[in-house]
Amino acid sequence: MPTWFERRVLDLVGGLADLYYQRKYGALARRLGRSTVETDGRRGFMIIQIDGLSHDHLSDALNSGAMPYVKHLLQSDQLAVAPWRCGIPSSTPAVQAGMMFGNRFDIPGFRWYEKEQGTIVTPQRLDKVPIMRDRVREGHPGILSGGSCYVSVFDGDAELALFTLSSLNRQRFFESMRGLGLLMLFLLSPLRVLRVLGLAVADYVPRLGRRLFALAQRLSKRVRSYLRRLNTDEEEPSVQNPFDVFSPLIHAGSDALFTEVQTFGVMLDIYRCVPAIYTNYNGYDEAAHELGTNHPAAFDVLHGIDKRIRQIDRMRAHYQKRQYDLYLISDHGNTPAIPFSWHNGKTLGRHILAEIGEELTLDERVEEDTFTKNRARYLREELRALGESALPRFRNLLAAARRYVDQYVEDPDALEYDIERQHDVVVSASGSLAHVYFNISQRPLDMIEVMFLYPQLLDRLTATPGIGAVIGRDGDRTIVLGKDNGLLELGSPGDVVEPPNPLAPFGDHDYVTKQVHRLAHFPHAGDLAVLGEMRVDGKVVTFESQAATHGGLGGPQMHPFIAWPAEHDLKPETLNDAEDLYPHFMRYHKDAGRSPVPQPPSDDKDRP
């Protein structure tokens, strides 16, 4: 127990700290019209998300010295850390929806296609994100009610949401006096402006260097191509991604500004005693996509995030009008990747175009040649011949497909097909997961229907280098096809496996099959879903141009991390989906109890 003198010293230090924060942050809060929130005895929480950082790569960053303050929090037992499983799709919109609203239903990827509307849905479509929010929010109050949210897809019902896509249409940052005021007050601080400029320059120089290196590589390739064309009739290739010095400068400047503004906003919210705070630092995810998970530049980003965590945590520890629990969390990881186009010389969409021999649209729709009854009759005869020579396990499937064709030949309208759109195909990629949609019908198609519409497509896809599995529906069941005639049927009354199991390379069989079965039956999942191959070297095949990827299955992308107050009885082994986080954070809105107060760091040299 402290002595009388020690208690007086602590009281004096606390009073001086209160005076310091009242003068520094109180005036700012009043000028922004953001008054202090009544604490009502409840303990608050703050979530600092590091986008795309897996538990494995967090360990690598800690061991490399890139995150010294986070390492201090863990070694001093202020926080405990463990991996958890985010579910599929392993992408930010799905994970944030599950964590913030307890519901990620019908978010099948980072981007997907909605047949009935004829539109691509993605967080980059700002007109679609509020619709996504309303869909997952129905009947599910958000964990950030009364709080603040920075740099996110969803707002979790936060009172103040800045740089948050689902709230941009109802509260634009630069049209909001609160948002504009926060930015202006931030810019009136000369030290913070200098810090932003310094960070922007530090980010811009390596970005420019990488651009120059890429330019040198392209010039080298063009010289080799020119020498080759001297002896051939090959046409000169078109120039892509022209070099410029301004786009990396804009990128670096905006990253630095947003990072500093969101950090400043969180610290102001701590002073205001808001009950729930969420902020997302997404620079590492971008660097991992471009350069790789353990690239020095990616670790430099983590080092900068570590400094922001230190600033925020010192504010939390020194200013205790409301006590906060600190959570560090990632929404998903990243798995080192090989682009599908490296295997096959073309994108997945162009590969499917070549396989079906018809025109194809990628993320848009066109109308091409009609699908005639004569061709349907031809398909019927082909299916009959295939059925006579097929292995026994495929004969029933082929017979069912032939019955569909028979109906279609007699009455195309019976199956609600628009035969003029039989070649209108949409491929929507989300990292190592891609959804394929066939616009011949506005409703989801079963795999049997895909088979008779495109008889050779499934066999050729499963034999394609870089494709790990092809997923489709069969009523309430899910069919997964793989290499070497591997087949897996999921759903009641039980699973059926024809070796080799297509999902075996992706990890825990029970977990993976449940996740795939659920995904396949989302209303807006593709008629087919394609998983990139999980290679023996630990890399996964991605359908985008990325050095590391997420969205599908395989490797660290499925295993983000969570760091939580060590005194809390959180069981990370029970976190098998983003939705499992929701009840934990909702308890803060019901529980008025108090838990031990974290101690401030021992040195005071860089108090915020």
In the predicted model, is pLDDT for residue 147 greater than 90? Answer: yes
Q: Are residues 166 and 153 in contact, defined by beta-carbon separation less than 8 angstroms?
A: yes
Q: How confident is the model at residue 366 (pLDDT cuts 50, 70, 90)?
A: very low
Q: Are residues 107 and 132 in contact, defined by beta-carbon separation less than 8 angstroms?
A: yes
Q: Which two tokens stand for residue 112?
A: 């997907």
Residue given tokens 């021992």 in the structure block: 602
Rounded to 5 degrees, φ, ψ at 548 are -145, 150
Q: Which two tokens stand for residue 579?
A: 């939705």
Q: What is the pLDDT of residue 413?
A: 41
Residue type, 451: M
- The SS3 assignment for 321 reads coil
Q: Are residues 51 and 331 in contact, defined by beta-carbon separation less than 8 angstroms?
A: yes
Q: What is the pLDDT of residue 214?
A: 59
In the predicted model, is pLDDT for residue 136 greater than 50? Answer: yes
Q: What is the mean pLDDT of residues 252-261?
A: 67
Mean pLDDT check: name the lowest of 84-88, 218-222, 322-326, 431-435.
218-222
Q: Which two tokens stand for residue 291?
A: 């350069």
Q: What is the pLDDT of residue 530?
A: 98
Q: What is the pLDDT of residue 129?
A: 85
Q: What is the mean pLDDT of residues 178-204?
A: 59
- Name the residue with higher pLDDT: 368 or 280: 280
Q: CA 151, 155, 156: angle at the middle one, nearest 5? A: 135
Q: How confident is the model at residue 606 (pLDDT cuts 50, 70, 90)?
A: very low
Distances (CA, A) of 436 to 362, 370, 429, 466: 10, 20, 9, 16
In the predicted model, is pLDDT for residue 321 greater than 90? Answer: no
Burial profile 527-543: b = 16 or more Cβ within 10 angstroms, e = fewer = bbbbbbbbbeeebbbbb
Q: Which two tokens stand for residue 234?
A: 């090959």
- Name the residue with higher pLDDT: 416 or 76: 76
Give the pTM: 0.79
Whole-number Å distance between alpha carbons of 472 and 530: 9
In the predicted model, is pLDDT for residue 176 greater than 50? Answer: no
Whole-number Å distance between alpha carbons of 517 and 264: 43
pLDDT tens for residues 489-529? 999 777 899 999 999 999 999 999 999 999 999 999 999 99
**β-pairing verdict for 528-532 and 496-498:** unpaired
Q: What is the pLDDT of residue 188?
A: 52
In the predicted model, is pLDDT for residue 478 greater than 50? Answer: yes
In sequence order, the β-bridge partners of residue 198 are none
In sequence order, the β-bridge partners of residue 327 are 47
pLDDT tens for residues 282-295? 989 989 998 999 99
Q: Which two tokens stand for residue 133?
A: 């929010």
Whole-number Å distance between alpha carbons of 53 and 330: 6
SS (H, E, C) 461-485: HHCCCCEEEEEEEECCEEEEECHHH
Whole-number Å distance between alpha carbons of 328 and 86: 15
Among the listed residues 25, 387, 77, the one whose alpha carbon sits nearest the alpha carbon of residue 182: 25
Residue 76's contacts (CB-CB under 8 Å, 6 or more residues apart) are none
Among 49-58, 318-327, 359-368, the range of highest mean pLDDT: 49-58
Residue 330's contacts (CB-CB under 8 Å, 6 or more residues apart) are 49, 50, 51, 52, 53, 54, 55, 58, 560, 561, 562
Q: What is the pLDDT of residue 189?
A: 61
Whole-number Å distance between alpha carbons of 415 and 382: 20
Residue given tokens 């402006």 in the structure block: 193
Whole-number Å distance between alpha carbons of 102 and 81: 22
Whole-number Å distance between alpha carbons of 127 and 108: 18
In the predicted model, is pLDDT for residue 172 greater than 50? Answer: no
Whole-number Å distance between alpha carbons of 329 and 53: 9
Residue 59 DSSP one-character state: H
